[in-house]
């Protein structure tokens, strides 16, 4: 299957398909390809007459097909892009009473002078549909799959390298832990970070702490470390900082990270061959020592209890059976986890 980079390379070389279906759970690559088509295939002069951008909520499949049937004016190609195509009414996927389906009729014999693009995000298009099969036969289908958490540090390193920068393994692992697996969010943060660093320089932990809003001493990773050591004083210091800076440290993010951490501690308890623990857990080997230490301090029964507490306080933070402020909830939860 062609990668996003393969598709963009072909587009740069003016090798076009008459229909593109860009679909999948990870929107980053769908946006990457769709934006390249929107901004680079036609000149500014050609776009006025030959580029149509539609939005799924405001259109239907026949509107898109009718636009695609037009011929370009003073250009070799016209471009029709349907953004948020997952919200579009796709209509029938079979023939009508007269034995005709105008959508399939076009997709099975598309105009070579039209580049029709469907950006179908946050889910997979139904591969059983005739529409899918027609596009697959006469156009190009790209599925953008979500990356597993353990693949994110490598993705960050590749992204940084492509921009002519370097990044330490510890820094890429920390970014992955902090930002999650939303590639658009990660790319945005990396782009902002690189504005403050000379090209070719290695991005360090300090650079990330200084530029992405992660406090050197008071962040969710330091909280995890303090909980592993059962350092009540340090835990309370961090919680007080979080309470004073709620926008930088929202309780939902903190609880989500802690739940992810203790879920991996739980999984670590069940790994039989500890030498393969990093691969089994899907974590960067740099962080494996944290899970090893946590497993020593929190036995299996306690980890189950901690995860139960985290789920309970996640509901409370959303107002379920609780009127306590977020700072108070965090202090209660930390006490229960440590004790």
Of 207-221, 225-239, 248-262, the range with the lowest mean pLDDT is 207-221
Least confident of 3-17, 206-220, 296-310: 206-220
CATH class label, 4-143: alpha beta
Residue ranges of domains in the chain: 4-143, 149-211, 220-338
CB 255 within 8 A of CB 306: no
pLDDT at 51: 97
Strand 19-24: give its sheet, edge to edge. 51-55, 78-83, 114-121, 19-24, 140-143
Q: Has residue 98 got a pLDDT over 70?
A: no
Q: What is the pLDDT of residue 22?
A: 98
Residue with the bigger pLDDT between 149 and 122: it is: 122
Q: Could you give the CA distance from residue 91 to residue 253 in angstroms, rounded to a whole number?
A: 40
Through-space distance between the first and last CA atoms of the chain, rounded to whole angstroms: 52
Residue with tokens 């990773």: 221
CA distances from 165 to 191, 196, 212 (A): 11, 12, 17
DSSP symbols for 251-315: HHHHHHHHHHHHHHHHHHHH-S-GGGHHHHHT--GGGHHHHHHHHHHS-HHHHHHHHHHHHHHHH
* pLDDT-based confidence at residue 168 (cuts at 50, 70, 90): confident
Q: What average pLDDT does the chain have?
A: 90
Q: What is the DSSP letter of 173?
A: H
pLDDT band at 234 (very low <50, low <70, confident <90, very high): very high
DSSP track, 45-61: HHHHHHEEEEEGGG-BH
d(CA 23, CA 120): 5
DSSP H or E stretch at residue 16: none
pLDDT digits (tens, 9 = 90+) for 235-247: 999 999 888 888 7
pTM of the model: 0.72
Inform me whether the pLDDT recorded for 212 exceeds 90.
Answer: no
Task: Tell me the average pLDDT across 227-242.
Answer: 92
Place of tokens 């379920």: 320
pLDDT band for 248, please (50, 70, 90 cuts).
confident
Sequence-separated (6 or more) residues with CB below 8 Å from residue 218: 237, 238, 241, 242, 245, 249
Q: What is the pLDDT of residue 97?
A: 58
Q: What is the mean pLDDT of residues 33-44?
A: 97
Q: How many CB atoms lie within 10 A of CB 235?
A: 22
pLDDT at residue 328 is higher than 80: yes
* Cα-based torsion angle of the residue sequence 163, 166, 169, 173 in order, rounded to the nearest 10 degrees: -40
The β-bridge partners of 140 are 20
CB atoms within 10 A of CB 251: 21
Q: Does the pLDDT of residue 288 top 80, yes or no?
A: yes
Q: 220-338 — its CATH code?
A: 1.20.272.10
Distance CA 38, CA 19 (A): 14
Task: Please state, in angstroms and as integers, the Cα–Cα distance from residue 30 to each residue in 54, 79, 108, 218, 254, following that order.
Answer: 15, 16, 23, 36, 29
Q: How confident is the model at residue 117 (pLDDT cuts 50, 70, 90)?
A: very high
More confident position, 168 or 190: 190
Fold adopted by 149-211: Helicase, Ruva Protein; domain 3 (1.10.8)
Output 96 or 1, whichever has higher pLDDT. 1
pLDDT-derived band at 42, boundaries 50, 70, 90:
very high
Mean pLDDT calculated for residue range 122-148: 94
Q: Which residues pair with 83 in a beta bridge?
A: 55
Query: Do the bridges between strand 166-167 and strand 140-143 make them parallel or antiparallel, or are there none, so unpaired?
Result: unpaired
Dist. CA 101–CA 131, nearest whole Å? 10
CA 136 to chain centre: 25
Q: How confident is the model at residue 95 (pLDDT cuts 50, 70, 90)?
A: low
Instruction: Give, as one character, the DSSP assignment of residue 87.
Output: G
């Amino acid at each position: 299957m062609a990668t996003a980079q393969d598709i963009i390379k072909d587009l740069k070389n003016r090798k076009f398909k008459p229909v593109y279906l860009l679909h999948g759970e990870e929107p980053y690559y769908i946006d990457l390809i769709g934006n390249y088509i929107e901004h680079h295939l036609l000149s500014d002069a050609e776009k006025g007459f030959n580029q149509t951008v539609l939005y799924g909520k405001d259109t239907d499949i026949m509107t898109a097909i009718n636009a695609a049937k037009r011929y370009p004016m003073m250009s070799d190609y016209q471009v029709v892009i349907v953004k948020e195509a997952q919200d579009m009414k796709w209509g029938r996927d079979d023939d009508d009473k007269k034995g005709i389906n105008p959508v399939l009729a076009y997709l099975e014999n598309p105009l070579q002078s039209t580049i029709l693009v469907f950006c179908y995000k946050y889910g997979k298009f139904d591969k059983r549909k005739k529409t899918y099969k027609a596009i697959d036969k006469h156009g190009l289908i790209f599925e953008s799959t979500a990356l597993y958490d353990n693949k994110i540090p490598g993705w960050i390193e590749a992204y940084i390298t492509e921009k002519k920068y370097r990044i330490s393994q510890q820094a890429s692992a920390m970014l992955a832990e902090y930002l999650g697996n939303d590639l658009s969010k990660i790319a945005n943060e990396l782009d902002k970070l690189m504005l403050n660093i000379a090209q070719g320089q290695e991005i360090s932990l300090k650079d990330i702490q200084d530029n992405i809003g992660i406090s050197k001493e008071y962040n969710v990773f330091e909280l995890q470390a303090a909980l592993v050591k059962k350092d009540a004083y340090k835990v309370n210091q961090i919680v007080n900082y979080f309470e004073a800076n709620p926008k930088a440290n929202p309780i939902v993010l903190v609880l989500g990270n802690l739940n992810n951490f203790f879920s991996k501690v739980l999984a670590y308890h069940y790994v039989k061959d500890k030498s393969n623990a990093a691969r089994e857990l899907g974590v960067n080997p740099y962080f494996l020592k944290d899970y090893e230490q946590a497993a020593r301090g929190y036995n299996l029964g306690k980890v189950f209890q901690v995860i139960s507490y985290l789920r309970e306080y996640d509901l409370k933070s959303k107002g379920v059976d609780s009127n306590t402020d977020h700072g108070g909830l965090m202090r209660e939860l930390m006490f229960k986890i440590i004790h």
